[in-house]
């Protein structure tokens, strides 16, 4: 027995609400990620002589890779949700429905940016020389700038 019109409307409404929820949570996760990453980078650049400060970059790198994987996976599932939503639209006789294709683009864009950030952070760990790693002759001494 095919579902009645009321059930189809409920399912359609659920898909639209799910789409809005996914978009909202994706933006919130990105804001959280960039807030955490900014705070850690602020510490990294303002405390250059702190031992093992490079290890603090591990959290944003890990978050970048994990979130990018989740976003790429989510983007790969969007065509299924889009097809289901468009099938419901046709059964209900509607002329339009939210296009979930844009959400796939948003997810892929965010995932790509996260991977770029991870690569940059890894480059900081591998290539940047911190003051405590430079030869003593090239270190800046703050005592030069303090009046006697």
Each residue of 26-59: pLDDT tens digit? 999 999 999 999 999 999 888 878 888 888 999 9
**Winning range, highest mean pLDDT, from 3-7, 68-72, 127-131:** 68-72
Q: Are 9 and 92 in contact (CB under 8 A)?
A: yes
- Give phi and psi for 147, each to the nearest 5: -65, 145
Q: Buried b / exposed e across 52-77, counting CB within 10 Å, b at 16+? A: ebbeebeebbebbeebbebbbebbee
What percent of the chain has pLDDT above 90?
45
* Mean pLDDT, rounded, for 118-132: 82
- Band (pLDDT 50/70/90 cuts) for residue 143 is very low
Helix, coil or strand: residue 63: helix
Gyration radius (Cα) of the chain, Å: 24
| Alpha-carbon span 107 to 113, nearest angstrom | 10
């Amino acid at each position: 027995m095919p579902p009645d019109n009321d059930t189809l409307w409920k399912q359609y409404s659920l898909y639209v609400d799910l789409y809005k929820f996914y978009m909202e949570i994706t933006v919130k996760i990105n804001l959280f990620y960039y807030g955490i990453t900014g705070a850690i980078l602020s510490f990294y650049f303002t405390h250059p002589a702190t031992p093992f400060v490079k290890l603090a970059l591990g959290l944003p790198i890990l978050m970048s890779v994990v979130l990018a994987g989740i976003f790429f996976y989510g983007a790969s599932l969007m065509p299924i949700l889009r097809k289901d939503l468009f099938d419901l639209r046709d059964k209900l006789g509607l002329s339009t429905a939210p296009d979930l294709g844009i959400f796939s683009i948003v997810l892929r864009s965010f995932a790509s940016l996260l991977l770029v950030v991870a690569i940059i952070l890894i480059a900081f760990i591998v290539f940047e020389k911190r003051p405590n790693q430079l030869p003593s002759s090239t270190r800046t001494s703050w005592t030069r700038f303090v009046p006697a």
